Structure 1
């Protein structure tokens, strides 16, 4: 399955020393791959932060589990497979107006939640980023905190680390990592994700208390945390905004 490499290295990644998570010395810069995540942030009507993050989380995994990616004959398969074998980098950029319209012409999946739209594009080499994407701003993607309603029954919950600050752009990439890891471990357990796919990979993004975060954190035994709590952790390489080795998101299956 397309996400098997993520499941295979998940526990080892969490146990690496913090400095090792950011070690890219062996990488050829010309071959570095990333998934562009395009956030629609119109000047006149900016989206809600939570809705935007939920759309980003769903869009990222939707690209990975699209039949065009999962089928060996699919047009996206090689690009997604090559990417997941490496660091699963994502680069969030903001777009509005004609720039958003242009981004929608590129291969990928758009998800809209509560009026907030995000398009996750098929990953590719950073050095070959299309001009429609490279011209988009990375900075300035923050949005004010909001108060989301109750979590819908039967959807995964993605908890943002309450001890750190992340812009909406950074958090969008992290929740996208989280849904990919959830899907990878679920599939490794033999789960059928067709119902989740039919629901548009719906999920909830929330801000837990520090005590809730501590109780859910997998600590030194990520495999046990997955089996007993259904929890996976996203550990960041520390390229932007947070220190290497920081756990940014905890994702819990329903």
Structure 2
């Protein structure tokens, strides 16, 4: 479900504090949250994760729901009228499944043989705080994917 726009603002009337881009910023910052799937056993390469995240953002912005008259359009326009913030989070297992229920677009991308599949979900922009419960449970810091310069990790083995 898209976020409600602040009652004192319309997409064309953000606050007057300047942003780095020269656009005025909103009193309550908005951002586009992006979740990337993190698999410890078979991680994807960093480049594949970055490409999946970029493709997810483009797919969300190009979706009919983001076009004028679409259900996501007011939120996308409000976000674009201020500073353009994108916040990347990581999600594993259950957390990844939970965030799929939040409005957005998921993109997957296969990497070279031996590497895991990259997956990223771009969410409809909204206030940076508070976040929907499932998204708030994901982690922002400490996510490092392999560069791909080294060999892929060997498959996990279970020993008795």
- TM-score, structure 1 length as denominator? 0.46
Helix, strand or coil: the match of 1:117? strand
Q: Is 1:34 paired with 2:25?
A: no
Matches within 5 A, 1:162-241: none
Q: Between Structure 1 and Structure 2, whose CA radius of gyration is higher?
A: 2
Q: Distance in 2 between matches of 1:50 and 1:110?
A: 17
Partner of 1:134: 136
CA RMSD of aligned residues (A): 2.1
Q: Deviations over 1:47-79 (max 9, x none)?
A: 111111110011011111100001x22110000
Aligned partners of 1:81 and 1:22: how far apart in 2?
16
Deviations 1:205-246 (A, max 9, x none): xxxxxxxxxxxxxxxxxxxxxxxxxxxxxxxxxxxxxxxxxx
CA distance change for structure 1 residues 136 and 23 in 2, over 3 Å: closer, same or farther? farther
Name the CA shift for 1:67/1:131 in 2 (closer, same or farther; >3 Å).
same
Match of residue 51 from structure 1? 48
2:21/2:83 contact within 8 Å kept: no
Moved over 6 A (4+): 22-26
1:146 and 2:148 aligned: yes
Query: Alpha-carbon deviation of 1:26?
Result: 6.4
Mapped partners of 1:61, 1:83: distance in 2 = 15
Match of 1:88 in 2: 84
2:108 pairs with one of 107, 112, 116: 112
Cα drift, residue 23 of structure 1: 9.1
Give me the TM-score of the superposition, normalised by structure 2. 0.72
Question: Which of 1 and 2 has higher RCO (CA within 8 Å, sep 6+)?
Answer: 2
1:69 and 1:110 map into 2 onto residues whose CA distance is 15
Give a deviation string over 1:77-121, Cα, whole Å, max 9, x none.
Answer: 000010011111011000010100001111100011112100001
Check the 8 A contact 2:55/2:107 in 1, yes or no: yes
**Shift of the alpha carbon at 1:27?**
4.5
Q: Deviations over 1:118-161 (max 9, x none)?
A: 000111011231111111111121112125xxxxxxxxxxxxxx
Mapped contact 2:44–2:146 kept (Cα < 8 A) = no
Helix, strand or coil at the partner of 1:111: strand
Gaps of 5+ in 2: 1-18, 111-116, 150-160
- Relative to 1, partners in 2 of residues 1:129 and 1:23: Cα closer, same or farther, differing over 3 Å? farther
